[in-house]
Amino acid sequence: MARVGLVDSPRFEDHLTAECPERPARVPAIRRTLDEQGLLDRLTSVSPGPVDGELLRRIHSDAYVQEVLRFCAEGGGLLDDGDTIVSTASAEVAMLAAGGGVAAVEQVMSGTLDRAFALVRPPGHHAMPDRAMGFCLFNNVALMAERARQLGARRVMILDWDVHHANGTQAAFADRDDVFVLSWHQSGLWPYSGAVSEEGTGAGTGTTLNLPMTRGSGDAAYWQTWQELVVPAAERFQPDLLLLSAGFDAHWRDPLADIQLSVPGYARMAQALVTLAESLTQGRLVAVLEGGYDLQGLRHAAAATIRQLLDADGTAIDPLGLSPRGTVKEADNLIRTVRTQHAWFRD
């Protein structure tokens, strides 16, 4: 039986965000569903601690870190020029979220755990080196990848299935060949980046792969990209660790986007991710929560994903069903574009 860890803490509910969709209720909704489905007792608890300051400054500028600390200490408010709302406790909670993801990586890299899920907030994949963005303060998954490299992973692959482009994660590693960043996201959606042509720079050319999915894409279209693009890219890159930025806002119920994934669709991809890890990384796989703003879609899709980390049997409890709006069932044009234009496939 796989040893699977869960990073969790009631402190993650102390990051208060007023009426923002990224709200404290997200974490307890998932926790409650894990308990209802009999999964919580099967997971090994991982206690988070604050991220190491030196590690934090390998991804974020010192000036930005100091600005977050100061702004929160003065009472919080709107941290950026968009929608990242913070409270007095937010800086401390964000450091705990990043530290929790790092702790999960440390336990998987040491062999204490086989896989892990960091049930943390605030999310991180939009956080840029020098500014907050899109509900994100510090880039959790980037810090996790950086820590894995310190622990001896030669190559780390980050897969991000949040419905919004992983722009902060891409920025952190665009010029590096030791971290591969792959992002599925809805084409044309905020933050309006993530084209196939964004493939990395310098030594990192080819190790950024963006998959902008057509509005309305469903399970079949995502699965097609998995088989025809994701697996070949991973097999060529040969990572020592897989990281998943696990956003669940591509579920068909989510109010902020128009991708039509179902709970079984998430389960199928999570099962395939475990299989990929077993073939490439000796099973080493760590997921960290990103977005997902409909509590029903979020909690059931997250539970289905965590069930696959435990069992990898493809099963899911899904009271929500398939999208009533119908879905785009293929990604032929995207696959053709990637194969002809992207350096990783073109060479």
pLDDT at 221 over 80: yes
| Of 45, 32, 137, the residue nearest 100 (C-alpha) | 45
Cα–Cα distance, 187 to 191 (Å, whole number): 10
Which pLDDT does position 80 carry in this prediction?
A: 80
For residue 125, indicate whether it is catalytic.
no
Q: What is the pLDDT of residues 100-154, one digit of tens each?
A: 999 999 999 999 999 999 999 999 999 999 999 999 999 999 999 999 999 999 9
> CATH code at 207?
3.40.800.20
- Give the residue-averaged pLDDT of 64-86: 93
Show the CA angle centred on residue 251, arms to residues 113 and 239, nearest 5°: 35
Which pLDDT does position 283 carry in this prediction?
A: 98
The answer to whether 115 and 274 have CB atoms below 8 angstroms apart is yes
279's tokens: 């073939």
| Of 138, 121, 127, 133, the residue nearest 246 (C-alpha) | 121
Total domains in the fold of the chain? 1
The answer to whether 33 and 300 have CB atoms below 8 angstroms apart is yes
Chain mean pLDDT for the chain? 98
Q: Catalytic pick from 15, 60, 125, 126?
A: 126
pLDDT at 326 over 90: no
Which pLDDT does position 81 carry in this prediction?
A: 77
Cα–Cα distance, 76 to 23 (Å, whole number): 15
Q: What is the pTM of this model?
A: 0.98
Domain that holds residue 286: 4-346
Report the percent of the chain where pLDDT is more than 90. 97
Which pLDDT does position 1 carry in this prediction?
A: 82
Q: Could you tell me the pLDDT band of residue 42, with boundaries at 50, 70 and 90?
A: very high
